[in-house]
Structures are given as C-alpha cells and as structure tokens.
Structure 1
C-alpha cells in the first residue's frame, strides 16, 4: 500500500480538517485552550525567539540543537496519540498519518506541503518528503540575525521524527536537506526508516538527555585537582600549617613522622581546627606528593549518593545516570584521599569502604567489574568515633582499621600564642584578594582576638579577619567594631579615687559615676539637645576632626555620627 508520489504527477492531499477543529476549544473564562485532551498555549513569536537565544547562549549551539529536537520530539509523541484517537479507525493509514502535518499547521508553527508519501506497514517501508513554508523557526533565526551553516528547524524536525515513529510503530528519522535559515530557497525534509540513514546512530543521540550537571561536576573536580596541583608545586601559603605552640607542633610532628608510610591517618579535632590543612601536609611530605590529593566532605553528600561519589557509577545504574563517571577513589589513584567528617558515612557506605580498604579494589555502582586502586587514606572527624562504635552507629572493624594512627589537632582556644600569627596570615591573604592595604589591627582589636573563645576555631578566625578587611578598607586600621560588629564593652580599668589614689574601678563605681554625672546635668538645667551637641562637638574636636575616630570614642557608627554632625552644622 502506498500513496501517490511525484513520479505519477499527483501530490498527497490532506483530508478535511473539520474533525480536528472540532477538538479545539477556547475557554477564556478559565484561561485555558484545549486540543482534544491536551492543554495548549498561545505564545508570542518574540518570546520563543528570546527563549531560543537564551538557550543557545547558555548551552552552546550543539546542546541547544539537541534540546529543541527533544522538545519537538515530546510534542510529536503527544500528537501521534491524538491522531490515532481522532482518525485511527476511520481513515486510511496515509490520511491518518497526515493528521500530524495538519496539527503542525493548525498551531501556526509552519505550513506543511506534502510532496511525496509512501507507507507500507507490512514491508516496513516508509518514504516521506515535505516542504515547510513560513517556518516559525526560520522567522526566529532571522529575528536573531544568526546566520548558521546548518538547518535551523530543530524543533519541527524532532516533532516529525517522534510523530512518524509513534504513529507507525517503527523508528523513522528525518533530515532537513534544504533550509531557508541557512540561505536555501525553501525548507524541505525527507523521512525514512532510521536504518536507511548512515548516521542514524549519531542522530539518535540528540534525543537522549545529556544533563549538564554531570559534566559540570566532573569539571569542578578537575579544577579542584588542578588548583591543588598548582598550590602544591608553587608552595601556596594556603596549605601551610601555621603555629608555634607545643600542642600544635606536637601534632605536626606526628603527621610528618607518618607521612612517608602508608598507614591510614585519623585526624581528630573540633570543626574548623584545620584538619584538611594537616591532611595536605601528610600528602605533601609523602612519596605521593606528585599524585592527586582528593578531598571528600562525607557530611555534604546525601547518603543515597555517597557510594556513587566515592566509587563511581556506571551508565544506566539508576535514573539520571546517563553516562559513566569515575568516583573519588579512582581520581585519587596514585595519591591521597581525604575523607572529612568520616562519622557521617551511612552504614552501607561504611561496609563498602571497609571492603575497599581490605581488597584494594573498587566496583562502580551498577558495574560488573572491579578496578585496582592505589590510594593513601587520611580521614578526619570532629565527633567521638568510639562513642559511635559503642552506640552501633559506626562499624568497629572499620574504626580499628582507620584508627591505626590517630592525631589530635588542638582547638584554637588552646593556641592563644598562635592567634597573632594566624591573624596576620589571613590579613595578608585578604588584602591581596580585595586589593587593599590596611593599617593592620588596633591593639584593642588584637587583644579581643586573643580573648575570644573561638567556638568556630580557625575557620571562624578566618571569616572574622575577612570581615575586618572589608569593613576597614584601604588605609584604615582594623578595629574591634570591624571585627566583631559592635563594641563588646571594655572591662573597668584603673582610675583615681576621690582621695587621689589609683584604684580599680568596679562596675558599681562606674555606674555610680554615671548617676552622679546625670544628677549634675539635670541640676544645671542642661537640655538633652544641648548636651548631645556639646558631647558630639567635643569628641569630634578632640579626635582631630576625624569622624571615624570620634565615632569610636562615642560608641556609634561613623554614618550615624556623620549624620548628626551635618544636622548640627558642625560638618
């Protein structure tokens, strides 16, 4: 069975479209348009032009083409269902097939002119040739003024492939052999069974999802490795352990002694004490220094993904695994793998990790083959692993294998003499990063840094110094307000008593002095406005007309003092 072709001088004709138009319903009161059981949209051509432009800019031309081919493909699948429902039992297969081109024209996407159509389901034969007139994708391309060397009717091509394949029950592929979007006189497509096209396999790849997230993740991992490699070879100060107190030097000595061996190192210490810096130190002092250093924060990865991140995943292992991906163990081959927040590993991941440590081989998720790996393990945790072992939350056999060489990193509050060294180190780094040169820390600021409890340890110190550099800016000192956000309130110092002797001013005495001052102001009949003006003027004058210095003396922000001085006519 086949329809007429150009060879017999008769072109295929469309069946009457009234049965399709009867399925079209406009419901403006509900804000809906329906074609059969499918909800439709009316959208401006300019909107689609903008959308296409954004997709091309975001994904690049190759990915954008595949995206729009898939978009049209999904539309074609739905229309094939509608065509069979409307005409599947009432018309010949050829007339029923022409429902798709009619629907395409009805939506205002393109006027489809059938040039030739041959269908023989029993023999699996198909040949279709159509001309596209006034293609909306050509109009979009002209609006974007983007001349391409290839056809531009991507969405319509995807539609034709899906519609024909779904309607006929066999894979049909089309090629746009002529396209006005690339300078041809017309748009013309030819469709055949997929196997009849030499490049059918490569063309079919366009219709498989290719999410960017896996590629971006791989690129991020490579960048992280390259940054580590550059830092290692250039001696980047970022990974240099800093400190001189005995507790810290003792931990550093233990790291250096174990570095040349292959024993797993377990770093113990609170969050923010610099365990990753020490892991880098172990790697840099080892025979694996030329190999990769790969860090994994086990707490930052969802439990159901941790195995695929550590051991890799094979294509098709689960929904969304569209390509095989190496895990962190494979990336660390020949180097060091740092497992941070080890205590957060799920029980299943713990069992898999133990097997890898015993057998020195890994198996990707969904894979059938194992791979030999050569990796040195450095692990870290801020929790009490022994307590977790006793509670049954951490495998005892894994704990004893990793606990062969424990090293405890002291918290910052036990390293008071290192605070100045660390603060100066971070100051130099952030001055370079923000392209400023401060006047350093005030004495009061440094005293407060040394007195602070540091619950966040070195990470907290780093963040506070960054804040101080940002707020102080160029050619200014970093004071306590820039670091901590407010004046913390100074302890009472030495003062003169009424008898003229030096003594310690208690908080009660300071309070009494304030009450006495208030009494004298009230007795003199000085108004609040006059008192405020006099106080502001005195602080401003005695600070050498430096607004910032005066604001610090008054315990207020520079902006607030600036406003009051201008309001009072003093500035």
Structure 2
C-alpha cells in the first residue's frame, strides 16, 4: 500500500463483516418528538455509516483524518495523566476551564464538518450526528432522553444520558468519587457542537455524573437565555476574566435607549476559539508591563478593542487612554496633533495646546494605522519614543512624558520596510511585543458566540423582538468569508435585526442586502418577480454528486428540484428508498415530491 493510500473505517467493516453499531430508531424517534413532523432514526442521514465514511487511516505516513481534519488516536491514560498534572499544577478551576475550551473547539469543528458535508440535513438529523461523532471518536456513548427545537424561535432544549464516559474513567482513577461533575471536555463539546449547528449560544450543564457517585451521567442543554446564572458556565468557556460574560446573559427586548453603563456591542470581548484565547493569553502577559505592543491583522478584527482592553487590565487603567487614527489626520497636522502647539507657532495658533502624547502622559497612547504615517512624522515619533519627551510645534523646550505606546496596523510593516515606506529603526522600536489577531474566517468557532452577542445587543438597542436565525442563515454565515471581519458581522446582524419581522427569524435575505459576495459553496436564490431561480455558478459539480452535470446557468427552483429528483431516481434504477438516501431525505418526502413532478 502506498503512503498516500487511505482506508476508511466503513471499508474495514464491510471487509470483515463487523457491524459499526446502530441506534435504536424507535426510541430515538420517540425522544425527538419535539422536532415537529421530522422522522429520526438509524436510517436518517447522516447515519453512523455515513459518518464512518469520513474517517480515514493512512498507516504508511502516520496520519488519520476525519474528512479533511487531521485526528490522532491517544491513550485515555495519557489524557488522564495530563489532566492530573494540570489539576495539580493549575488548580481544578483553571484545569476545568482549559478542558472545557478544548472540548468546545472540538465540538465546533465537528459541527462544521456536518454542515459542510450534509448541508441539507434536517436540524434534528444534524444534531444527532454530533452524538454519533462523539461515539465514533471513542469519547462517550450518548443516549437521547428528549429534545425540543422550535424553528419559529430557534429555541432549543435537550436532555441526554452519557454512558462509558472516558473522562469519568480517568478522573475517578485519579481522584476517586468527589462532589462535582468531571465531564468537562464533553460538556464543552456539546456546547460547541450545538451552538455552531444552530447559530446561537446553547449551553450544556452536567446535572449527574459518575464522578459524583451516580450510576450514569446526565446532561441538559438549553438556549442561553433559558438558563439562570449563565455567567457561571461562561467562566469556564472564557480563557480570561476580561472576556465578556454579560454578553451571554438573558436578554429581553427593551427600549431603544440603552443605560449609560451598558457597553456598546463593540466594547465586548467575545470568543472561545483557540486563536482568540491565544491572543487573550498574550494580552494578559504583557498588560502588567510597560512594554510597547504592536497589534497586527486585517481591518475589522478588533485591534482597537484589544488595545483598549490592554489598557483596562494594566496598572495604568486609572490614567488616560488616548486613541489616534493616523490615517484620518492630514500629514500637515499630524505633528501638531501628536506633540502639541505653542502659541504663535503658525497663523491661527492663538493659544498653546498639548498634543496627544502630553494628554496620554501616565496612561496609554494608541496609534492606529501606524503604517500610514509619513516618513517625517515617523522620524519625530521615533525620537519621542527614544527620548521619552516631546517638543511642541514652535516650542523651544522638551516636555517629559510617561506614555505606553500601543500601535496597530493592517499592513505588513516588514514588507513596508523593505520597500522603503517605513523606517526600520521605528519598526524595531514598535515591534517589542507583537500580537497578531487572525481574521474571522480563521476563527469560525467564535461566529455563533458573536452572532448571539450582536443579536442580543441590537434587539435591546432597537427594541426588536427578533427570535433568532433560520438554519439557512446560520449555514450561510458559517460559510461566508467575512472580508470585513467582526465589524462586517456586526453590521450584517444589525441590518438583519432591523429588517426582520417582529417575532420572526432572521433569514439570508435579511442579512445580505448590501452587495456582499457569498461563498461559491453557498447557492443563492435570485428572485425575479414572483418566481425564484437557484444560481449554481461557481459551485463545483463534485460538491454534490447528484448535481454533477447540472447546468451552470440559473434555472427555476421547480425545474431544479425536478431535475435533481429525476437524476437520483434514475441513478438508483427507480428504487425510491435508495434515491432518498442519496438525497439525504426520507422516502415519504421524496415520493411526495416525485408525484408532484409526475416522475412516478
């Protein structure tokens, strides 16, 4: 076998005749009664067999994949040893938070996989896929007790029993029976998976645990606004205390005027992804010092927000925080704005005034878009940083200042130095402690949390009763590239809250009305009069084998449905059950639509 050969678990099962395991269709269907008129069972896609097709082994080069995500097989005893060392060295609270966050990221990744490969799966089927993935990954066997999902409000509530928890096995082996639940990663996984799937924060709590002496583990999940004291749960999901927890609290629509003490939407630090947490850890380390910090990243990733938080958690928090947008000040005025002006320095200078350096003395000066400074201004800024004093325009004496300088740029300053647009000596003076903030498309785990936060904020601000997001809008947002990053997501949701009907859900057409370009993997609906056409332009044929060969030009929605059904039925030689499995739907639904189009 070549090093690039991959063997799927399903192929091994077929070759050996060993069953992969199944779910009791009758009991699952009964428990899923809260999902109106939706059949769920072992034959609902994605099934355990469908999911197992995504698991690949390449023994020759030492890699395992779950579809396009690399996985590892790890001894649970090794995880137990790591858990024990972390608890002993960090304390149980910090260790619990670390494992909860790791579980959240794992759950969010699995939800993205299900969203990507079964985009048309009904919400309950996609939700059940998470339990099957968790079992396939060897973490725990999940027994469904009950679950309800209201598509009109996006409200969710579910109860599950966990059997054979690997986390409990190792925790009990290390610490015995205690007084608190120990399935930290599993709770994080469930929160990350279901929140990413439904596009709103859904928090899980373990109400019973084997580590507490009970016979089994029981977990309950609810939409965040249905829980009391949600901040306690978010304490473990947030890497640092300065990450906002009030953003997740119960929110009711209220008057448009906000209380003065309430933070604006842009003032909250919200996130749980590994990239976000890494930036928070760096921020916490450098905050206690007076070192110069350089934030880099694309426009809209939150550089000013991180700079403001750096000041608020630093010893200088009681002193001024002065922000300067270097790109917004004309070159002729930048020197006077930064360093101040003496009376009579030029025509119109009728009185002396301090510059931003003097005003920020004792505190923090934030220089945004530092790469836009002219070469002359760069030289004067370098001198101020080196000498610790400034000289006003028209002045004759130096003024000592004690300022912590924090800079930000969306440019590659190293490239600017090589091209002669930025002084090398100033770059090294600023680049003492660089913190890179990744774009939102590289931290998609945070999108559901940000969606939930902005939705709550703008419902309060505009006095709207918008219920939540449709499944189509969630899928589209999770696939969107966000060229404007968090700022663009914030604007999209504010627009949608305003446009959506009272007590209704936010749909795709509420979000994308400003000429945004959707991902090639997301089909768009073009309305022409009273009819609609699906645009398949740019969608690779391999994305859906049933659509392979579909015309690239727009066609009517009815014709698209008919052609899809006809291909599937033809490919399965008229076997409606097989065609339904191919399309990821039930036989009854397929037969109804086929009769509508006179195909049977």
TM-score bracket for this pair, using the shorter chain length: 0.3 to 0.5
**TM-score with structure 1 length normalisation?**
0.46
Structure having the larger proportion of residues in helix = 1
**TM-score with structure 2 length normalisation?**
0.44
